[in-house]
């Protein structure tokens, strides 16, 4: 597992562009909100740390992970944002529901990245257990929200004609 070898919250701060002139949409699943709110906290604070302004961060909640794709599309079409971050948590259960939702959300974000001229960042945890999710939402493996925010900043810089440092 890649996360065992890399903490999601550790990165070279000197390789992250200034985000002070960037605008971000963050779409958050309400399902498994103990986890998704921790992911939101990580993403929001990381964006602030790199200069993003509070007034340039737009947060929208959706019922579940499957709805992240529509929420992200809505954000791109109705709010002036340079990137959209989708944050969710899907935990494997006893039925194939996990596979369908995970596959659908993943493909949805791929499709959005192809269709729109802004980056859509996939910050969705797909784990076997709640503990694995806790470990990746501010626990021993860091916070996937931090990683998603750094990715968003770098992709916006790239999209604006810059280069990723």
Share of the chain above pLDDT 70, in %: 95
Mean pLDDT confidence for 19-39: 98
d(CA 140, CA 131): 10
Q: Is residue 17 part of a domain?
A: no
Structure tokens at 90: 């899907």
Contact 108, 90 (CB under 8 A): no
Q: Is residue 65 part of a domain?
A: no
Does residue 7 have a pLDDT over 90? no
Residue-wise pLDDT for 10-21, tens only, equals 888 999 999 999
Q: Is residue 68 part of a domain?
A: no
Q: Is residue 67 part of a domain?
A: no
Q: Is residue 53 part of a domain?
A: yes
Quick one: which H or E segment has residue 152?
A: helix 144-159
Does residue 6 have a pLDDT over 80? no
* Residues with catalytic roles: 97
Does residue 52 have a pLDDT over 60? yes
| Among candidate residues 154, 162, 124, the one with its CA nearest the CA of residue 15 | 154
| Sequence-separated (6 or more) residues with CB below 8 Å from residue 34 | none
Total domain count, the chain: 1
Name the phi and psi angles at 18, rounded to 5: -70, 135
d(CA 91, CA 79): 30
Q: Is residue 63 part of a domain?
A: no
For residue 131, give its domain range. Answer: 22-57+76-159
């Amino acid at each position: 597992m890649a996360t065992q070898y890399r903490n999601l919250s550790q990165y070279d701060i000197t390789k992250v562009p200034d985000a002070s002139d960037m605008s971000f949409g963050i779409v958050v699943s309400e399902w498994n909100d103990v986890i998704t709110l921790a992911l939101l906290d990580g993403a929001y604070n990381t964006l602030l740390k790199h200069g993003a302004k509070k007034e340039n961060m737009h947060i929208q909640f959706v019922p579940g992970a499957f709805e992240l794709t529509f929420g992200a599309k809505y954000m791109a079409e109705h709010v002036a944002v340079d990137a959209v971050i989708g944050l969710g948590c899907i935990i494997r259960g006893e039925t194939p529901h996990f596979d369908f939702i995970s596959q659908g959300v993943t493909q949805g974000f791929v499709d959005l990245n192809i269709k729109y001229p802004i980056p859509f960042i996939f910050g969705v945890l797909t784990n076997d257990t709640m503990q694995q999710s806790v470990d990746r939402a501010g626990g021993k493996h860091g916070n996937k929200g931090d990683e998603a925010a750094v990715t968003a900043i770098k992709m916006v810089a790239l999209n604006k004609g810059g280069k990723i440092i």
